A and B are shown apart, each in its own frame.
Chain A
Amino acid sequence: NAGVTQTPKFQVLKTGQSMTLQCAQDMNHEYMSWYRQDPGMGLRLIHYSVGAGITDQGEVPNGYNVSRSTTEDFPLRLLSAAPSQTSVYFCASSYDPGNTIYFGEGSWLTVV
């Protein structure tokens, strides 16, 4: 019963490096999303997808790219890491966007 799986759990990057946060779900959910969580700011939506081949920007998309080639996978790419991207990142999925959302366990990213 895997649910939503995110990797890596912890990562330290140097400014300017690129990396990909992986996200996979095994619930056949159409809707997937990426959030970042910063102290005192709650959750902010980065990008989301309503199905394979369809992605759109959320509230804070700058510096991030996503793709959705399959229903199961929704990777988040940091193109050129900046200290402002130090955060905890959560991948989430749901059957549809108005339904219960299932979250991954989070990825702690530090950019130095």
Chain B
Amino acid sequence: GNSVTQMEGPVTLSEEAFLTINCTYTATGYPSLFWYVQYPGEGLQLLLKATKADDKGSNKGFEATYRKETTSFHLEKGSVQVSDSAVYFCALSSPMDSNYQLIWGAGTKLIIKP
């Protein structure tokens, strides 16, 4: 079946460091891929998405490229800030699923120290 695997957290970085959070997936067909972010005490919100191979999603300085050859959608940011501290979720939506159910990764907690 479809699945999403994220790197385990927490990930702790200093301010202005480079960030990578790994996400790999297993899916039939051509899924859409998403990154959602959850700030402390809040619900999840969409950070970025990509709907086909080689697409790059970007938002708020974060980027992720849909790599079909490696079945990956790694999240990157060149210089993180304390305000980026949050939990990040990778997810996929497969058109092969009749109800387009989102499949979620377990989430990666990111802690940025000043």
The verdict on A104 contacting chain B, using a C-beta distance below 8 Å, is: yes
Q: Are B104 and A98 in contact (CB under 8 A)?
A: no
The verdict on A43 contacting chain B, using a C-beta distance below 8 Å, is: yes
The verdict on B32 contacting chain A, using a C-beta distance below 8 Å, is: yes
The contact string, 1 if C-beta is below 8 Å from chain B, for chain A 90-106, is 10100011101111111
For residue B102, which residue of chain A has the nearest CB? A101
The verdict on A45 contacting chain B, using a C-beta distance below 8 Å, is: yes
Given A42-B89, A100-B46, A105-B43, verify A56-B105 contact (CB < 8 Å): no
The verdict on B44 contacting chain A, using a C-beta distance below 8 Å, is: yes
Q: Are B99 and A48 in contact (CB under 8 A)?
A: yes
For residue B44, which residue of chain A has the nearest CB? A103
Given A97-B93, A100-B46, verify A50-B107 contact (CB < 8 Å): no
Q: A41, A96, A103: which contacts B106 (Cβ < 8 A)? A: A41
Q: Are B95 and A100 in contact (CB under 8 A)?
A: no
Q: Are A98 and B44 in contact (CB under 8 A)?
A: no
Q: How far is the CB of A2 from the nearest CB of chain B, in Å?
A: 13
Q: Which residues of B contact A102 (CB under 8 A)?
A: 45
The verdict on B100 contacting chain A, using a C-beta distance below 8 Å, is: yes
Q: Are B93 and A103 in contact (CB under 8 A)?
A: no
Q: How far is the CB of A109 from the nearest CB of chain B, in Å?
A: 15
Docked CA distance A90–B87 (Å): 15
Docked CA distance A42–B101 (Å): 15
Q: Are A42 and B44 in contact (CB under 8 A)?
A: no
The verdict on B49 contacting chain A, using a C-beta distance below 8 Å, is: yes
Docked CA distance A48–B97 (Å): 14
Q: How far is the CB of B30 from the nearest CB of chain A, in Å?
A: 11
Q: Which residues of B contact A45 (CB under 8 A)?
A: 101-102
Given A43-B89, A103-B43, A103-B45, verify A97-B107 contact (CB < 8 Å): no
B residues engaging A (CB < 8 A)? Answer: 32, 34, 36, 41-46, 49, 89, 93, 95, 99-102, 104-107
